[in-house]
Amino acid sequence: MRIERVADGVHLVTGTNVNWALVAEGDAVTVVDAGYPNDGSDLLASLEAIGRAPEDVQAVLLTHAHLDHMGGIPSLLAKHHVPVLTGATEVAHARRDYEEQITPVQMLRQCTHVAGITWFAQTLKAVLPHARMSVPSAAPVPFGETLDLPGSPVAVSTPGHTSGHTAYVLEAAGIVFTGDALVTAHPLLPGPPRPQLLPDVFSEDEREMVSSLRALAELPADVVVPGHGPVVRGDLDEIVRGVTAGR
């Protein structure tokens, strides 16, 4: 686990090839995403590392219900029950009324090079034995409204990676949590970190992802905290144009 301060009260935590974020205001904390199932103990440790406890968490904002983003939630709920909020469509995904996730066969097909084999092994270890988990208590978050939570986040509908993918913006701080709608690195992406989309195999609808990127470009933010890879700072419109060029 690695913790990086992004801004006052805002921390990016990197677990097993995936990020989550902690937004503290006074004692209270908003958690954005939660890592893999096996990152659950690190999620709790990250709260402790910034001087907070599970009881200080007001809500978990989930970008989407893939196992690498919601896996740590049960570990937190076991300590302290908090609301888990995400876009209305993604709520059904978090409850596993339906599933949009890379299949074991698709995962195996990534094992054609060393990076793919390493990723496959790390992912299996991070997921098992909780690959069938769900979050039955997930509830819908309204889009476009300032939420009464630490950081005053606003949920933004960003479908494509999953049907109900949801980003969150902290308007006053100029920070957007893009989840997997926009990432900067991943073990299966070649080259140095840069704003980009995840490989196709992870996403439901790439055309919809590109439309969602254009929605992200409109947001009042100049700090991107992605679901995978390092933070990127700069003009959001320019960052998005770099990713959508040629698409």
Check residue 100 for interaction with Zn ion (CB under 5 A): no
Query: Helices (H) and strands (E) in the chain — how many of each?
Result: 8, 12
Interaction pattern, residues 67-86, with Zn ion; x per rule: CB under 5 A: -x------------------
Check residue 180 for interaction with Zn ion (CB under 5 A): yes
Please report how close the Cβ of residue 176 comes to Zn ion at its closest, in angstroms: 16
Please report how close the Cβ of residue 224 comes to Zn ion at its closest, in angstroms: 15
Interaction pattern, residues 113-142, with Zn ion; x per rule: CB under 5 A: ------------------------------
Check residue 56 for interaction with Zn ion (CB under 5 A): no
- In the region spanning residues 213 to 242, those forming contacts with Zn ion, defined by CB under 5 A, are 227
Nearer to Zn ion, 53 or 124 (CB): 124
Q: Which residues bind Zn ion (CB under 5 A)?
A: 68, 180, 227
